[in-house]
Amino acid sequence: MLSERQETILQIVKENSPITGQHIANRLHVTRAALRSDLAILTMLELIDARPKLGYFFTGHKEKDLLSRAITDISIETCLSQPVIVGEHTSAYDAIIAMFTEDVGTVFVGTNNIMAGVVSRKDLLKTAMGHNDLRALPVRMVMTPVSKLIYVRPDEKALVAAQRMIEYEVDCLPVVNVLDTEEEDRKDLQIVGRISKTNITRLFVECGLGRRT
């Protein structure tokens, strides 16, 4: 089922098409960024449509079926996997060993569960092709740093995670809690899990078989 805010957005679009995301946000007294996930879900369900320079339109469609409703309602915290974490001083070689041992395509880099970066199979393959000494090279030298990370929070919807993976063309996203720090302009990302394309595929199968309600 749609959330109360999604129902409200749908009604606003229905009565005011075309309408921009900023105008919708103004009516709800929130920021445009706060509505990003809701608008993405409504668009993916084809309840609304978006056109460049014009805004959002009401499509006239109704929620499609029980499968769509089930997938829309599932939060990331109910379908995430355990993260595989290595320290910043771990060698690239040992990061590869961790990948194969844990059978994952991405490992997270951090200390005390605070994210420093992410390293993928592709990152390590590029490094190996450069004839680097993987045993001597710290994994922090090849990781994507935290400042460039794409992530999701556990209370966001699985559908949002799937869309983010497609949009940014990645196979896995860290699931994090965003923590305040003593520095006003810096937030710490506490790793609580990971969600991958495999998780999304498994979720789709469970919904199709009626194991998710």
Q: What is the mean pLDDT of the chain?
A: 88
Q: What is the pLDDT of residue 87?
A: 94
pLDDT at 23: 94
Q: What is the mean pLDDT of residues 115-142?
A: 90
Interatomic CA distance for residues 24 and 165, integer angstroms: 26
Rounded to an integer, what distance in angstroms lies between the CA atom of residue 17 and that of residue 153? 31
Say what the pLDDT of residue 100 is: 93
Average pLDDT over residues 85-98: 94
pLDDT band for 113, please (50, 70, 90 cuts): very high
What is the pTM for the complete model shown?
0.67
Catalogue all structural domains in the chain, each as residue range(s) with its CATH number: 4-64 (1.10.10.10), 77-207 (3.10.580.10)
Which pLDDT does position 192 carry in this prediction?
A: 96
Residue 41 sits at φ, ψ, to 5 deg, of -65, -45
Instruction: State pLDDT tens for residues 165-211.
Output: 988 999 999 999 999 887 777 789 999 999 999 999 988 888 777 66
pLDDT of residue 66: 47
Task: Render pLDDT for 32-74 as a digit per residue (tens, 0 to 9).
Answer: 889 988 898 888 877 899 988 889 999 876 555 545 666 677 8
Using CA atoms of 62, 68, 73, 78 in order, give the dihedral in degrees to the nearest 10.
180
The pLDDT value recorded for residue 213 is: 57
